[in-house]
Structure 1
Amino acid sequence: MRHTPSYIVTDPDEVKRLIRGNAWATIVSNTAKGLVASHYPVILEEDREGISIVSHVGRPDDRALELGQHEVMVIIQGPHGYVSPSWYGDKPAVPTWNHVTAHLYGVPEILSDEENWRVLSELVSHFEHKLPEPKLLEDNEEYGRRIVSGTVGFRMLVTRFEARSKLSQDKPADVVDNVMTELEHGANYAHPDLAAEMHRVHGGAASATTGSGSGSDSHTAEATDAATATPRIPES
């Protein structure tokens, strides 16, 4: 991930917030046979110190990923979308892509069958609780356990992460306002979730924008890979 200083996120709480809101993750493993990627939902373990996620894979993905044998990368992708140069007014500009993304690194711990059952029950409950009549895994335990037997659960304590929140921090207030308006109400590239992320960073009014300095400073930053240390979280 490009380490542009204006966009780097170092706060673990911000990464936790991203995980909570974006459960669908990509697991990338550098195996003896080369790179392997799989896609599964993850949830945050709120009662653990640091950043800890739990999930499962379907057999035989555990073997394909060499799960538990070495470090893997889990990618969390938040809201992202196209930003047109036409939204910048008459200023010279090029297209870009705003996004919020985190790369999480750690060695997965394989869960016991019972802990896998508990984690999968919590995963189902996490999403079902919003429905008026939730269908929980334990409602039909015999069937549920038969399905769960085809999965392998894991916990990953995140030992380091790289995160980036690129949300027009290098742009002047009027441009930020235009971008947010287009993302909220535009006819072609509307993305309300991305607009909400921008409002969260820039505040209710774009005049409270940019803690990243002038555009020229930002362009210099974009052109230079900063020696920004990757945040590390002590293992518990």
Structure 2
Amino acid sequence: MYLPPQFQSADRQLAAELMRGHPLASLISTDSDGLPFVSHLPLHLEERAGTFWLLGHCARANPHWRYLQERPQALVTFLGPHAYLSPAVYPDRPRVPSWNYLAVHCTVRATLVEEQGAKDALLKKLIGDHEPAYAAQWRSLGEAFAQKMLAGIVGFELEVLKLECKLKVNQHRPESHAALRAAYAAGNERERDLGRWMEKLGLGG
């Protein structure tokens, strides 16, 4: 992605926080015609020996797993909070509107997960992320039901080969920070979230 230096973050833990806080990712591969193919999927992030891995699954009917099998390198994007940037936050008038946002892009290499036990373990990690209490219900549904559900999905592990983190919150315009923080603090949920990220980054405090 276009990544001006003032918006680039090399802090892997900030990127991890963003990915875990906004886990619905866009997995982007090329299809059999060489065109982009996108699936929107929740992914589980974990770190192994200093390397990030993203775990997820798709329906067996979704051809995306075949594209990953044929061409394992892919792109995963995460979009965090985003909001309009009004020129009213500047002390002078010759300004234009913009949009602030937080995003992470990961170049990944895919490995499919087909063994039933491994798929079950992968599912339990996703359950643990989003509704730990459901684990007991999943176990209670019985082996036959679980095997049927597991047969209907293909799991995958995505090794993160390259990570880009873009935190665009007007860092390069310090004269706007106080007014922007105040505007976001009084705004909607996304705007308030961006304001908290500005605070985390030490902007406008």
Aligned-partner Cα distance in 2 for 1:65–1:95? 42
**Offset of 1:5 from its aligned partner?**
0.7
CA distance in 1, matches of 2:84, 2:55: 31
TM-score (norm 2): 0.88
1:3 counterpart SS class: coil
| Residues 67, 126 of structure 1: alpha-carbon distance in 2 compared, 3 angstrom cutoff | same
What's 2:127 paired with? 124
Offset at residue 103 of structure 1 (A): 1.0
Letter in 2 for 1:170: H
Matched residue of 2:50: which SS? coil
Determine the C-alpha separation between the residues in 2 that align with 1:64 and 1:44: 19
Contact 1:184 1:190 in 2 (8 A): no
Identity, % of aligned positions: 25
The residue aligned with 1:23 is 23
SS at match of 1:89: coil
- Aligned partners of 1:41 and 1:55 also within 8 Å: yes
Aligned to 1:13: 13
Equivalent runs, 1:42-191 vs 2, <5 Å:
42-63=43-64, 66-70=67-71, 71-111=73-113, 112-129=115-132, 134-136=133-135, 137-142=138-143, 143-173=145-175, 175-186=176-187, 191=191
Q: Aligned residues, how many?
A: 199
Q: Is the 8 A contact 2:46 2:52 kept in 1?
A: yes
Aligned Cα RMSD in Å?
2.1
For 1:113 and 1:48, locate their aligned partners in 2 and report how far apart those are by CA, in whole Å. 25
Q: Are the equivalent residues in 2 in contact too, given 1:27–1:39 (CA < 8 A)?
A: yes
What residue ranges of structure 1 are gaps of 5+ in the alignment? Answer: 208-236
Q: CA deviation at 1:69?
A: 2.5
CA distance in 2, matches of 1:65, 1:3: 31
| SS of residue matched to 1:168 | coil
